[in-house]
A = this chain, B = another copy of it.
Amino acid sequence: MNISEKIILPEAAPEDRSGAIREAIRNAIIDRRLAPGTKLSEAEVGALFDVSRTVARAALQMLAFEGLVKTERNRGAFVSHPSPDEARQVFASRRLIEPGVVAEALDRMTPAEIEGFRRQLDEEARHMSERGPAARRAEIKASGDFHLMLASVSGNAILQKFMEELVARSSLVIALYGRSGISSCGHSEHSAILDALENKDGERAAALMIHHIDHIEADLDLQLKQGSGLKDALSLP
């Protein structure tokens, strides 16, 4: 899989170029324009964004740190290819963290933010009704964004960072092990969670969230099929 043309970053970033590149690649990964296993060579990334290898490398290091990319010494960086076990860990972590996030969000959510959530859900619905791969990608992203918005209003920057990592890794996992085309079934669940939040029913919101995560994970096929057998069998021990 190859990255297409030269990408022009959102202009307003004269500084922190590696951070901008990180986000661009990150987005490409979470909406699956970059498949797991894809090689990301420093030279290629550098050329693509028109920077030197130094800054491309920095971006890849950041991505490696948040688990979206795996680097092998003297071999390069590859889009992560999480094992079924890693996949389970991702969702175990989310089950642990997200109920707490909704609980903290409950107290701090302003009416304006509720309105923002509503708009977000509308957008989700809109993407769902559209056809085509672009709409699909947008839908995936929007679905993750719901969880990130929640983390954002929780007011805890650390948890927010953790959630960013977990949501991104979830995308990878779903790309690899997702059974139904998309775990889009989640939209109505998002709605229900928001309703519970609006009614200040924290118990229910947390329960719905856990249910939602269970639901996503249940849609995966985590039997260690994907391994063509050998390659992955030998990387475990």
Residues of A within 8 A of B (CB): 15-16, 58, 61-62, 65-67, 73, 86, 89-90, 92-93, 96-97, 100, 104, 156-159, 162, 165-166, 169
Contact = CB atoms under 8 A, between A and B. Distances in A.
Contacts of A96: 96-97, 100, 159
Contacts of A169: 158
A205 B90 CA distance: 23
* Stoichiometry (number of copies): 2
Contact of A16 (B73, B86, B159): B73
Chain A at the B interface: mostly helix, strand, loop or mixed?
Answer: helix
Contacts of A61: 58, 61-62
A65 B67 contact: no
A104 B86 contact: no
Given A16-B73, A65-B65, A93 B58 contact: no
Given A61-B58, A92-B104, A73 B158 contact: no
Given A16-B73, A61-B61, A61-B62, A158 B97 contact: no
A92 B62 contact: no
B157 A86 contact: yes
A59 to B, nearest CB: 11
A162 to B, nearest CB: 6
A13 B61 CA distance: 19
B15 A73 contact: yes
Contacts of A157: 86, 89
Contacts of A16: 73
